[in-house]
């Protein structure tokens, strides 16, 4: 059985797609066929907090005018999956700007407008992320199902940042996600050459990056 270092689970693998590939375009069309995705600049507002885009933009509109535009942040983990995260950006004089501090330091994002998908400010309920496997590895759909189950369960038992979820059950769902993600790591390791770019998108060769963290034949 392959051995996987816990360090692999601490990395972030998704980022803005480098290009509008046919797969990305088709994914976006499946979410909102009436809009087109576009790259917009990230300029965090001084008052903005990470992961609080809806409140950030609402406060920005109150202070500086403009309007809140709902939509989706589009993420990609090459060879693995594409993901859409419910998001809001600021619009002023026809220009869109992402004012929320990015988690991974992105300077631009791929944004798909979707004005019909609003945020519930009263109930503070978030829409779960939309994910689609890129079809290269059989392990990916199982991981997506586990991740979706975890996110749906958390949202059902939460209001804003307050959760009433049983911690034992939460831990069990988290283990399911980690185990299924481990299977994705194994598939990637088996299909990545030593001198190929690492699947974590560090830019390094696999043998000098994540390869030592996965022992396929311990």
CA torsion through residues 72, 95, 44, 200, sign: positive
Q: What is the pLDDT of residue 157?
A: 78
pLDDT of residue 159: 66
Evaluate if residue 218 carries a pLDDT over 80. Answer: no
The pLDDT tens digits for 44-55 are: 999 999 999 999
Judge whether residue 164 has pLDDT over 90.
no
Tell me the sheet residues that pair with 92.
95
Rounded to an integer, what is the distance from CA 165 to the centroid of its chain? 23
Q: Please, are residues 195 and 144 in contact by the beta-carbon 8 Å criterion?
A: no
Query: What does pTM read for this prediction?
Result: 0.92
pLDDT given for residue 103 in this prediction: 86
List pLDDT tens digits, range 20-79. 999 999 999 999 999 999 999 999 999 999 999 999 999 999 999 999 999 999 999 999
| b/e map 162-181, b = 16+ CB within 10 Å | eeeeeeeeeeebeebbeebb
Provide, rounded to the nearest whole percent, the portion of the chain with pLDDT above 90. Answer: 86
CA 35 to chain centre: 20
161 pLDDT higher than 70 = no
- The residues, ordered by sequence, that sit 6+ positions from 22 with a Cβ below 8 Å of its Cβ are none
What are the pLDDT digits (tens) for 79-132?
999 999 999 999 999 999 999 999 888 999 999 999 999 999 988 888 999 999
How far apart are the C-alpha atoms of 201 and 106, rounded to whole Å?
13
84 and 144 Cβ atoms separated by less than 8 Å:
no
> Is 98 or 167 the better-scoring residue by pLDDT?
98
């Amino acid at each position: 059985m392959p051995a996987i270092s816990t360090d692999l689970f601490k990395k972030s693998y998704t980022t803005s797609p480098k290009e509008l590939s046919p797969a990305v375009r088709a994914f976006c069309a499946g979410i909102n066929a009436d809009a087109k995705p576009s790259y917009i600049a990230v300029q965090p507002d001084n008052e903005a907090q990470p992961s609080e885009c809806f409140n950030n933009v609402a406060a920005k509109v109150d202070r500086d005018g403009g309007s809140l535009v709902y939509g989706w942040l589009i993420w990609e983990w090459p060879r693995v999956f594409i993901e859409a995260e419910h998001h809001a950006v600021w619009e002023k004089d026809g220009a869109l700007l992402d004012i929320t501090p990015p988690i991974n330091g992105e300077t631009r994002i791929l944004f798909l407008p979707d004005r019909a998908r609003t945020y519930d400010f009263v109930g503070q309920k978030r829409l779960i992320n939309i994910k689609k496997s890129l079809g290269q590895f059989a392990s990916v759909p199982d991981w997506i199902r586990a991740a979706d189950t975890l996110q749906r369960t958390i949202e059902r038992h939460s209001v804003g940042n307050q959760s009433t979820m049983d911690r034992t059950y939460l831990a069990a769902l988290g283990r399911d996600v980690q185990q299924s993600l481990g299977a994705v790591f194994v598939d990637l390791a088996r299909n990545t050459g030593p001198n190929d770019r690492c699947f974590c998108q560090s830019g390094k060769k696999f043998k000098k990056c994540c390869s030592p963290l996965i022992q396929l034949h311990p």
